[in-house]
Chains A and B, each alone.
Chain A
Amino acid sequence: MKAKYFIQALLIVFVFSGCKTNKDKKEILITVNQYVHHPNLKKTMDGVKEVLSQWSKENHKNIKYDIQVANADVSLATQIAKQQAMKNPDIMLALATPSAQACQKATNTIPIVFGAITDPVKAGLVKSLEHPGGNITGTSDQWPYDKQFELIRDIFPNAKKIGVVLNPGEANTEASMKKIKEVSKKYGFEIIEAPVSSTSEIFSAANSLVGKCDIFFAPADNTVLSGLEAFVKVSRTNNIPLFVGDEGSVEKGGIATFGVDYYELGKDTGKLIVRILNGEKPADIPVVVGNKGKLVVNEDALKYFNITIPDKYLNKSIKEPVLQE
């Protein structure tokens, strides 16, 4: 009997929860499907909000966000995407690859904008970067590895081997490593890999690289970035300089980088959303690759390793280096 009541109760909730739609035309609903809590994704989101709040003021619209984080759970990302599609929002914003794929599977009519995805073509999201096709477009966060490795070469003209700790289980990492190997060849580095599958393995993986390389590098890998402190520790104790690829990691103890500015990337993403809200079709909006890097250095680390940044970087008009405490 109890079972029967329970199922009835479930049904009632279903029916009622399906009923609340009535939407004010002035109100714009944007759903956000974020795969995991991550500082870079948060910065992206901040950038999006900045652009959109300005747009909404100018156009006297009211923007409502429905932000859900999938806690790195694929089945949850699917559920969230479906739920959000049912609310019939104006735009679905998806941050990180599995979330974008889940959104893609949830609707073919509602415009989807993805943010911070390293390789949208390989993830099956778009047909090509220039002509995405379908109902989807967005921004890619391919890191400017070229500039990053040029920087390392300029600081260490004699370095030969770069040790990289990475988690081969991440979609982004694979795309990055391909690019890293390509770029490192250009600057005459040899890459030595140490794989991990969780943050707890980073310490030993980094230690296994000691003696085999002159320089450490942390790629665009969420596992490694989450446990970067262990990498920093190994780097300091063995006096091997650690270069990183994003701003947040410089704050955590990496030496310097040309990083993707995720806030800027978020603004680019926001601009795409505005274009769609203004009536453009996602299929015709090219994917924006946000690799306008800016130089960020960690002064502490520079002192520790006794490194000076070559003059050409300080004089260049890209952007003044932000000196971190």
Chain B
Amino acid sequence: MDLLIFALTIGIVYSLLALSIVFSFRILGFPDLTPDGTLLVGASVGAITLNHTNSVVLALVSASIVGAFFGIITALLHNKLKISKLLSGILVMTMLYSVSLRVMGTSNISLINSKSIWFTDFSKSSQIYNLIIAIIIISIIFFLLYLLLKTNIGLRLRALGDSENTAKNLNLNIEKLNVIGLAISNGLAGLAGIIIALYQGFVDISMGTGLVIIGLASIIIGEIILKPNNIFYLLLAGIIGMIIYQSVISIALRLGLPSTDLKIATVMLTILFIFIERIRKSKLTMDRQIGNRNI
């Protein structure tokens, strides 16, 4: 039972990042690698703010703002200098390593004695409270995003994600939409950074590395399970996928898989999901004799 609670909690905590990645990759159609960096910079700015002002709210706000700010920079690099989407993200992400080091002034900050949004004592009930807190946080973010995507601006963002050409023909201001979209997704990544840091009790300079890839893998898993056909399920797919991803790690460790082999296990899991999906789809198409649709 403990294990279930923990796996759910950590899955939900990390699914904030998954939402950020769903937003940029899937909704906005912008393969943005910046979150690796914005998550880290959010965590470091948040930690510094927390240690100076002793205010959790300020820490959360500052982390989101800093994340959004660097998201905007990625968008501007792409918009103004016509740097490709991938490269703009990589450039900013790389830069943020130095920025975070500068911000922290060191490579590792302990938050064990700081205020937190989590229950930091170790009783069984506080584990459950933490799970509830995680669910509340993710629900709020989820519905805010969902409502946002129903507004005028949200519809424009989705139109841009569906097809850039259509968006152009509709006379949408693509550059502006990129800025707005990346500000939101990276603001979310920054927020995820400080929340994760508070959860694990420290900020370390290596904490962002590779997280976008993990996020992508979970989205793929989530999408295969939920088969989203609207925005609600698309966002949900990110969350479910991340919970499954983290749960599988928990179970694998619990069953005694050496952590050395963990990376190959998670990759295999992702490939397995895609493989099952492929077979299922090809069967469907054979059954219906539609011919070879390319999915």
Contacts and interface: CB of A to CB of B under 8 A. Distances in A.
Contacts of B122: 107-109
A79 B10 contact: yes
Contacts of A170: 107, 205
Interface string A268-290: 00000000000000000000000
A13 B106 contact: no
B108 A171 contact: yes
Interface of B: 1-4, 6-7, 10, 14, 97, 101, 106-108, 110-113, 121-122, 196, 199-202, 204-207, 209-211, 225-226, 244, 246-247, 249-251, 253-255, 258-260, 262-263
Nearest to A81: B200
B201 A83 contact: no
Given A18-B3, A98-B108, A105-B202, 5 more contacts: A6-B244, A15-B1, A73-B206, A75-B10, A124-B111
Given A11-B4, A69-B260, A76-B262, A124 B106 contact: no
Contacts of B113: 124
Listed from nearest, the 4 A-B pairs whose CB atoms lie closest are A124-B110, A171-B108, A105-B201, A74-B207
Nearest to A168: B101
Contacts of A78: 10, 199-200
A108 B121 contact: yes
B204 to A, nearest CB: 5
B121 A86 contact: no
Interface string A12-36: 0111011000000000000000000
A250 to B, nearest CB: 26
Interface of A: 2-3, 6, 10-11, 13-15, 17-18, 37, 68-76, 78-80, 82-83, 86, 97-98, 101-102, 104-105, 107-109, 122-125, 168-171, 173-174, 197
A68 B258 contact: yes
Q: Interface residues of B: mostly helix, strand, loop or mixed?
A: helix
Query: Which of B225, B247, B259, B263 has most chain A Cβ within 10 Å?
Result: B259
A171 B107 contact: yes
A37 B226 CA distance: 38
Contact of A171 (B6, B7, B14, B204): B204
Nearest to A2: B225
B48 to A, nearest CB: 15
A83 B108 contact: no
Contact of A72 (B1, B107, B206): B206
Contacts of A123: 108, 110, 202
A72 to B, nearest CB: 6
A15 B251 CA distance: 11
Contacts of B112: 101, 104-105, 124
Nearest to A3: B225
Contact of B253 (A10, A83, A98): A83
6 contacts: A68-B258, A79-B250, A105-B112, A124-B112, A168-B101, A169-B101
A105 B6 CA distance: 13
Contacts of B246: 79
Contacts of B14: 75
A70 B255 CA distance: 16
B101 A14 contact: no
Nearest to B122: A108
Contacts of A125: 110
A197 B2 CA distance: 38
Contacts of A69: 258-260
Contacts of A75: 10, 14, 196, 200, 207, 211
Contact of B106 (A6, A80, A102, A174): A174
A101 B202 contact: yes
Given A86-B3, A169-B107, A71 B260 contact: yes
Given A73-B210, A75-B14, A174-B107, A98 B259 contact: no
A74 B214 CA distance: 13
A123 B204 CA distance: 10
Nearest to A104: B112
A79 B249 contact: yes
B107 A76 contact: no
A177 B56 CA distance: 32
A14 B201 contact: no
Given A75-B14, A86-B3, A14 B251 contact: yes
A213 B231 CA distance: 60
B70 to A, nearest CB: 18
